[in-house]
Structures are given as structure tokens and as C-alpha cells.
């Protein structure tokens, strides 16, 4: 018996509902380290990252902050996931597994910004940011010379990377650029060329977005061992950054991001009130985020 309009309608409704179920069940974490910015074109320029305006006494004419043009651009990319459903499966009422697939795609869609943003952090040791240097580098140009935002030596250290971030400001260390939100779509017209030629229906989601770096002065990266000593070095380094006029930027550590290899060490350092009978000064000092995308 051929596929009826009711069967097709019920399948499309069911897969859409399963997709939405997966979408709602996930708890993404990307907004903890990334500022979400809308995009209205194929790419967005972030040349303004070269300028950090400040509050100062108003004497004479207003002093307008000029945006330094570094030409840092984040290009949007298109991403998709899809399911092919054979018409024969619908005719035979064998579509139960497709609901699980749609739910999984929904969950993956919700967590996809996490993948883009958290996996970007380890790439910061070899990816340029707005000043032309790697995001985590030892020679960022400053008015008084150069500055580093790494602990240890990333060229020779072999541990899983960890990151101490200042996520307290409107512009966080990472930018998630959203051009077009993901949307569930169905190619289920019995008379469409694809269905006629391929004898299958398509259910898919796609969107356009990307992630990039913000201010390197709000992030410390390291592949050295995650120890109390190294965390304190990172805290001190983060607070040392200055504006071009020599005044402090005011960067402060709020968030520690680690991967699975450093999870136990991070929990001991951040979530344990006492270590060996001594008060732990790092206890709940930062928010701890463990991401499977940090490796």
C-alpha cells in the first residue's frame, strides 16, 4: 500500500517533535565564555578590538576613541545535519529509529555552539587574533613593549591545555557569531524531483555561524601542569595587563576551563575547601567548566 498523506504528515510531525525534544534537553555552556553577536552578512569585521576606550576627566573637547583597524574578520560558515528516510520504510511502518536520530540531531544542534567555542580555545596557541599574533602568545605588542598571556612554554609543554579567563565583561574572550539560526526542515513532497528520483524523504537542519577570538588580555592559556602555583601565576598575569597609557585594564580571573584530563586536578584545586588540613585559598575562587571539546 503506497504512503498515504496521513502517514507522511504524522512522520514529519513526529520527527520535528523529536528534534525539538533533543534541542530542549541539552544544556549548552558557550554563553559562559562567549559573547553572542548577530551577523547580517557573510563576514563581520572586528577591527574595533584594537581599541579599549576608558572613562577619563572631561577637560575641553570630548576625546573620541578612534577604532584601530586591525582587519580581524570572522567569516560565517554553513553547517548542516540530515536524515534520509526511505519511502519503503514509511510504507512498512518501520520509522521508529528515525525519531531517535532526529532527537540526537536536535541535541547536537543545541550543543554545536559549545563545540565551536570551546574547541577554539586550544587552537588559540596557533591561531591569530586581532593584533596579528596567536591568541595565546608570548609577544603581543603593547605600547611599552610586548606582553605574554601564556604560562609555561606551549612549544614544549605537552599537557592538556587549560585556560583562566575573565568572563565578567560584555565582550568575553570568545565571540560566537550567529548569522542564521538552525531550523528543522522537511523535504517530504511526494511529487518533488528528489523524492521521485531517489525514493526517499529528507529531514534536515542547517544554520550559518562561526566563532572567533575577542581580547587576548582577558585570557591566559597553558599546557603546563595544572597546579596551585601555575594558577596563581595565571591570576597575577591576568591582572598585570595595562592599557596603552599605562593604567590597569582591570582584568580578573572568573572562569577556569579544563578538559577531561585535568578535571580531577581542577576539582581538587577549586572545589575542595581544605587540602591536607589547610584552608584552600582557591576554593570556589572561579567557576569551573569542564568541556569535552578541550583537548
Q: Where are the domains of the chain?
A: 5-49+73-290
For 236-273, letters b (16+ CB in 10 Å) and e give ebbeebbeeeeeebebebbbbbbbeebbebbeebbeee
Nearest to 177 by CA among 30, 29, 28, 66: 30
Classify 234 as helix, strand or coil: helix
Distance of alpha carbon 99 from alpha carbon 16, whole angstroms: 9
Q: What share of the chain is helix, strand, coil (3-state, %, to 5)?
A: 30, 25, 40
d(CA 225, CA 243): 30
The CA distance from 244 to 125, in Å, is: 24
244 secondary structure, DSSP code = T
Helices and strands in the chain, H and E counts: 7, 15
* Tens digit of each residue's pLDDT, the chain (295 residues): 577 788 888 889 999 999 999 999 999 999 999 999 999 999 988 877 766 666 555 655 444 333 343 458 999 999 999 999 988 887 777 778 899 999 999 999 999 999 999 999 999 999 999 888 999 999 998 877 899 999 999 999 999 999 999 999 999 999 999 999 999 999 988 888 888 889 999 999 999 999 999 999 999 999 999 999 999 999 999 999 988 777 888 999 999 999 999 999 999 999 999 988 999 999 999 999 999 999 9
Is residue 292 within 8 A of residue 261, CB to CB? The reply is no
Backbone angles phi, psi at 266, to 5 degrees: -65, -40
Distance CA 224, CA 216 (A): 19
Phi then psi for residue 136, to 5 deg, are -105, 110
With beta carbons less than 8 A apart as the criterion, state whether 210 and 123 touch: no
- Non-local (6+) Cβ contacts of 281 within 8 A are none
Amino acid at each position: 500500500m503506497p504512503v498515504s498523506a496521513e502517514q507522511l504528515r504524522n512522520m514529519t510531525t513526529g520527527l520535528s517533535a523529536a528534534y525539538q525534544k533533543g534541542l530542549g534537553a541539552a544544556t549548552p555552556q558557550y554563553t559562559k565564555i562567549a559573547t553572542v553577536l548577530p551577523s547580517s552578512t557573510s563576514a563581520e569585521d572586528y577591527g574595533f578590538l584594537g581599541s579599549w576606550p576608558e572613562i577619563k576627566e572631561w577637560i575641553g573637547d570630548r576625546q573620541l576613541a578612534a577604532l584601530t583597524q586591525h582587519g580581524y574578520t570572522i567569516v560565517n560558515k554553513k553547517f548542516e545535519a540530515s536524515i534520509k528516510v526511505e519511502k519503503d520504510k514509511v510504507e512498512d511502518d518501520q520509522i521508529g529509529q528515525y525519531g531517535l536520530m532526529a532527537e540526537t540531531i536536535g541535541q547536537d544542534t543545541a550543543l554545536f555552539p559549545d563545540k565551536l567555542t570551546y574547541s577554539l580555545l586550544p587552537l588559540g596557541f596557533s591561531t591569530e587574533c586581532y593584533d596579528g599574533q596567536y591568541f595565546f602568545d608570548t609577544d603581543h605588542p603593547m605600547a611599552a613593549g610586548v606582553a605574554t598571556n601564556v604560562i609555561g612554554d606551549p612549544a614544549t609543554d605537552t599537557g592538556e591545555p587549560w585556560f583562566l579567563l575573565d568572563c565578567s565583561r560584555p565582550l568575553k574572550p570568545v565571540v560566537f557569531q550567529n548569522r542564521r539560526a538552525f531550523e528543522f526542515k522537511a523535504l517530504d513532497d511526494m511529487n518533488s524531483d528528489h523524492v521521485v528520483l531517489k525514493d526517499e524523504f529528507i529531514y534536515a537542519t542547517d544554520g550559518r555561524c562561526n566563532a572567533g577570538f575577542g581580547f587576548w588580555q582577558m585570557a591566559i592559556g597553558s599546557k603546563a601542569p595544572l597546579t596551585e602555583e601555575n594558577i596563581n601565576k595565571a591570576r597575577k598575569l591576568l591582572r598585570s595587563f595595562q592599557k596603552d597609557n599605562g593604567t590597569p585594564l582591570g582584568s580578573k580571573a572568573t572562569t577556569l576551563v579544563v578538559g577531561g584530563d585535568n578535571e580531577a586536578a581542577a576539582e581538587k584545586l577549586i572545589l575542595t575547601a581544605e587540602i591536607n588540613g589547610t584552608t584552600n585559598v582557591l576554593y570556589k575562587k572561579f567557576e569551573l567548566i569542564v568541556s569535552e571539546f578541550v583537548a
